[in-house]
Amino acid sequence: MASPVIFVKRKNGSLRMCIDYQKLNDMTVKNVYPLPRSNDLIEKLQGAKIFSKFNLKWGYNLVRIKEGDEWETAFKTCYGLFKYLVMPFGLTNTVTTLV
- pLDDT by residue (tens digit) across 53-88? 766 667 777 889 899 999 999 999 889 999 999 988
Residue 19: give the domain boundaries.
Answer: 5-31+51-98
Whole-angstrom distance, CA of residue 57 vs CA of residue 64: 15
How many domains does the chain divide into?
A: 1
Assess if residue 61 is contained within a domain: yes
Helices (H), the chain: 22-27, 38-44, 56-59, 94-98
- Residue 16 pairs in a beta bridge with 8
Assess if residue 25 is contained within a domain: yes
- pLDDT by residue (tens digit) across 39-57? 888 888 888 887 677 666 6
Assess if residue 36 is contained within a domain: no
What is the amino acid identity at position 36? Answer: P
* Cβ–Cβ < 8 Å for 63, 87: yes
Structure pTM?
A: 0.66
Assess if residue 58 is contained within a domain: yes
Assess if residue 44 is contained within a domain: no
- pLDDT by residue (tens digit) across 7-31? 999 999 999 999 999 999 999 888 7
